[in-house]
Structure 1
Amino acid sequence: MAQVKLSDHPSQEELAFLLGQEDFSDVFKQADAVRREAVGDIIHIRSILEFSNYCRRQCRYCGINCKNSRIGRYRMMPEEIIATAKQAYEAGYKTIVLQSGEDPFYTPSLLGEIVSEIKKTGIIVTLSCGEMCFEDYQYLRRCGADRYLLKHETSDPDIYASLHPCGTLENRIRCLKDIKALGYETGSGFMIGLPGQTEKTISADLLLLRELACDMAGIGPFIPHPDTELRDQPAGSTQLTKRAVALARLLMPTLLLPATTALGVLSSREKENIFSCGANVVMRKVTPDTFKSLYELYPSHLGQTHILSQRKELEEEIKSLGKIPL
């Protein structure tokens, strides 16, 4: 295997050059070797509960943006959220990701009560509920939230502005810095295939992850939703997505890198492939069937939720790949 040498402080140009190589096999192999040496063969299994699809944002690529009048909206009540999280814990999940749109119904006080109750089980709680002020992030941290996931989506200010008429890249980065400063395990990430994106802008996304000292990073392909302004945009490349994941592993050897659900939508074989080029996390939805199909960031075909049996099936699938489920 040819050794891939990154400088200590790689430039956008250096990373873009690697992303554009015709044969990327050596980089994939090295990313897999770095993953094995840095974090071992463990695949972390996370449960994800999508508890509300109300959102105040107007993101032009997202199926639950507030301008989409075709979608049925829902909110899970606190007792439903807590009961589902307890089921996930009893099924063997060590982490629950509580995800929603930016829904003002769930005030920091209410979210804090939910987190505090769920933490009584001992499960690790990750929140993914959008942009907040420093004080609200601080309050939720005090209530027991362990991790916070907030993807920056793109580090290019012009692309960000074109896709987010209701927010700024500057504020998104401010939020991520606040989250990190408060001691959360901090997650960000970005999409592959956005309009105007180049290998150089993807390289900037990778460098931003390192600048922010992220602990987690979700890198997935853009998938067009028919009820959004980007409905006619082609889906992002799975190959380029895997290349970005591999480079993220080389840049940040201990990073938690999920095999994103978007990759699974595009191809049922992507889990195996992505685990061989740097990824070491997989997420499984535990959202109740009543709500599951309504949390449609992008089109997907979802089966019924069976929390316990699906956890066991995923463990066996991971073992069949020669990895250790956790």
Structure 2
Amino acid sequence: MEVLLSKLYERNGLTKEEIVYFLQHLTPDLKKRLFRLADETRKRHYNESVYFRGLIEFSNFCKQDCMYCGLRRSNLSVDRYRLTEEEILECAAEGYNLGYRSFVLQSGEDFRFTEELMISIVTSMKVRFPDAAITLSIGERSEAFYRALYDAGTDRYLLRHETASRSLYESLHPGMSYDNRMNCLRTLKDIGYQVGAGFMVGLPGQTYEHLAEDLLFLKELHPEMIGIGPFIPHSATPLKDATGGTAQDTLVMIAMARLFVPDALMPATTAMGTLDPTGREKALSAGANVVMPILSPLKVREKYALYENKICTGDEASHCRNCIEMRITASGYKIELGRGDHCSFLSTSE
């Protein structure tokens, strides 16, 4: 096991068989050393910096029917909403006044937000906040759409691959194409976006082999951003009675992903804080280096429920920032409110 940990740290990779063996025989002591090496690796590329992204969840409509998601189209109990362009800009302005220079616009797959409308939103944000980076997280669209939004000034795009296993993917995403998901990610990379991929830990039917495939896929794709969070069951989905993922298992995968893709930007997710009161701080100490405080209007926050009992839905944006800031500082990390680009993009954005 020591040999495998050393290989992972020094060479940033293991074979599928080695990953599975490592996960099967991970002791508490080895886990601590894994987290320490992940933290060291992160500091080598980004020092103690933790980057803020202001999150604007602008629509909870979704055309997809993913088995685990509270926003799935078959969930008729969701109180659906869409923010107007002006409301989105107001959220960004509040975040900008709080010091944020990086915004994430996230929604379900809501095609009411057309290419034309999204170009208008991105263009308006770039005019009003020219020194800020814009990330979209709005699902699968066409190559033409991705290119048009990139040309409009979008800097980054988040599209979790969810699972690199074709069979597991297809069992969880009725009506969706595994190949299209992967093609979207590669198209985004080819266009020039800073791209985010990622997966959930603890999905029903997920094995160590599946997790190994996720890590190997991330190694091959080499995304600029990697989002890893626990599966948390939602009572209005087919997986409502499934056992959820754990914070500890998720921390292990965050640390391993950091060692597989050493220069990635990786969020300490709200889901981690939902499972464990200090989950986000633990994620930072296991290699994460991004936090995403919510800027959405208070009136809609509880309606954007991918999972239940989500934290921070009742906090004002300023309180949310102050709370996370205190947690980060107390953990020994340094807050960065700038664009927070991937290290390979820094020369182009400065």
Interval containing the TM-score (normalised by the shorter chain): over 0.9
How much does 1:4 deviate? 2.2
SS in structure 1 of the partner of residue 6 of structure 2 = coil
SS in 2 for 1:51: strand
In the alignment, does 2:175 pair up with 1:171? Answer: no
On the 8 A contact 1:86/1:118 being kept in 2, the answer is: no
Partners of 2:288 and 2:44 in 1: how far apart? 13
Q: Distance in 1 between matches of 2:154 and 2:259?
A: 29
Task: Read off the aligned partner of 2:215 and give its amino acid letter.
Answer: L
* Structure 2 residue 69 is the aligned partner of structure 1 residue 62: yes
Q: How far, CA to CA, are the matches of 2:106 and 2:175 in structure 1? A: 20
Corresponding residue for residue 27 of structure 2: 22
**Which of these residues, 291, 294, 303, is aligned with residue 300 of structure 2?**
291
Q: Which SS does the other structure have where 2:53 is aligned?
A: strand
**Structure 2 residue matching 1:97: 3-state secondary structure:** strand
Q: How far is the alpha carbon of 1:39 from its aligned partner?
A: 1.6
Q: Deviations 1:156-186 (Å, cap 9, x if unpaired)?
A: 1111111111211111000000111111100
Q: Among the aligned pairs, what percent are the same residue?
A: 40
Instruction: Give the TM-score normalised by structure 2.
Output: 0.90
Once the two structures are TM-superposed, the CA of residue 303 in structure 1 deviates from its matched residue by 4.0
Structure 2 residue identity aligned to 1:5: K
Alignment of 1:228-247 (within 5 A): 228-247=237-256
The superposition leaves residues 235-271 of structure 1 with CA deviations (integer Å, 9 ceiling, x where unpaired) of 1021111111111111111111111111111111112
**Letter of the structure 2 residue corresponding to residue 15 of structure 1:** I
Alignment of 1:307 with 2:317, yes or no, is yes
Alignment partner of 1:86 is 2:93: yes
CA contact (8 A) 2:294 2:320 kept: no
SS at match of 1:285: coil
Residue 36 of structure 1 pairs with residue 43 of structure 2: yes
Cα distance in structure 2, aligned partners of 1:127 and 1:108: 12
One-letter amino acid of the counterpart of residue 319, structure 1: T
Q: CA deviation at 1:9?
A: 5.1
CA distance in 2, matches of 1:179, 1:79: 27
What is the aligned partner in structure 1 of residue 339 from structure 2? Answer: none
Q: Which residue of 1 aligns with 2:80?
A: 73
Q: What is the aligned partner in structure 1 of residue 7 from structure 2? A: 5
TM-score, with length taken from structure 1 = 0.96
How much does 1:133 deviate?
0.9
Conservation of the 8 A alpha-carbon contact between 1:288 and 1:305: no
Rate the CA distance shift 1:9–1:31 in 2: closer, same or farther, 3 A: closer
**Cα distance, 1:315 vs. partner?**
2.1
The separation in 2 between residues aligned to 1:30 and 1:224, in whole angstroms, is 31
Instruction: Give 1:46's aligned amino acid.
Output: R
Contact 1:286–1:305 at 8 Å: present in 2 too? Answer: no
Q: Secondary structure at the match of 1:197?
A: coil
- What is the CA–CA distance in structure 2 between the aligned matches of 1:303 and 1:194, rounded to whole Å? 24
Structure 1 Cα separation of the partners of residues 51 and 126 of structure 2: 19
Q: Distance in 1 between matches of 2:101 and 2:325?
A: 13
Aligned-residue CA RMSD in angstroms? 1.3
Pairs aligned (count):
325
Runs of 4 or more above 6 Å deviation: none
Gapped regions of structure 1 (runs ≥ 5):
none
Q: Which runs of 5+ in 2 are unaligned?
A: 337-350
